[in-house]
Amino acid sequence: MKKKGIVAILLAGTLLLGACGTNQNTGGTASNTGADTTKGEADSSQGEADNTKSESGGSGEGMKVVYVTPGAMGDNGFCDSVGRGLERIEADFGAKTTVIENNNDASKYAESLEACFQWQPDVVFAEPYGFEELYVQYADKYPDTTIVCLDFVLENTQKTISSYTFINEEGAFLAGVCAALVTESDLEYANEEKIVGFVGGQDITVIRGFYKGFEQGVKYIDPEIEILQTYVGDFFDPVKGKTAANQLYAQGADIIFQAAGRTGHGVLEAANEENKYAIGVDSNQNGVYPGHVVSSMVKDLDGAVYDTFKLIVDGTYENNVVYSKGAGPSGVYLAIDEFSEDIMTPEMISQINEITDKIAAGEIEIERYTE
Name the residue type at position 99.
V
Name the residue type at position 326.
G
Judge whether residue 26 has pLDDT over 50. Answer: no
Judge whether residue 16 has pLDDT over 80. Answer: no
Task: Write the DSSP symbol of residue 284.
Answer: -
d(CA 271, CA 254): 9
Determine how many CB atoms are found less than 10 A away from the CB of residue 40: 14
Beta strands in 70-109 (DSSP E): 96-101
Q: Which fold has domain 168-300+330-360?
A: Rossmann fold (3.40.50)
For the CA atoms of the chain, what is the radius of gyration?
20
- Each residue of 196-249: pLDDT tens digit? 999 999 998 889 999 999 999 999 999 999 999 999 999 889 999 999 999 999
Is residue 57 very low, low, confident or very high in pLDDT (cuts 50, 70, 90)? low
d(CA 149, CA 142): 15
Q: What is the pTM of this model?
A: 0.79
Determine how many CB atoms are found less than 10 A away from the CB of residue 107: 7
Q: Which of 189, 124, 151, 157 is nearest to 14 (CA)?
A: 151
**Identical topology for domains 37-166+301-325 and 168-300+330-360:** yes
Is residue 129 very low, low, confident or very high in pLDDT (cuts 50, 70, 90)? confident
At the top level of CATH, which class does the domain 37-166+301-325 belong to? Answer: alpha beta
Q: How far is CA 283 from the centre of its chain?
A: 8
Q: Where are the domains of the chain?
A: 37-166+301-325, 168-300+330-360
Taking residues 23-51, report their average pLDDT.
Answer: 38
Question: Helices (DSSP H) in 97-204: which residue ranges?
Answer: 109-118, 132-141, 168-183
At 10 the pLDDT is: 30
- Each residue of 312-363: pLDDT tens digit? 999 999 999 999 999 887 799 999 999 999 999 999 999 999 999 999 999 9
267 close to 234: Cβ distance less than 8 angstroms: no
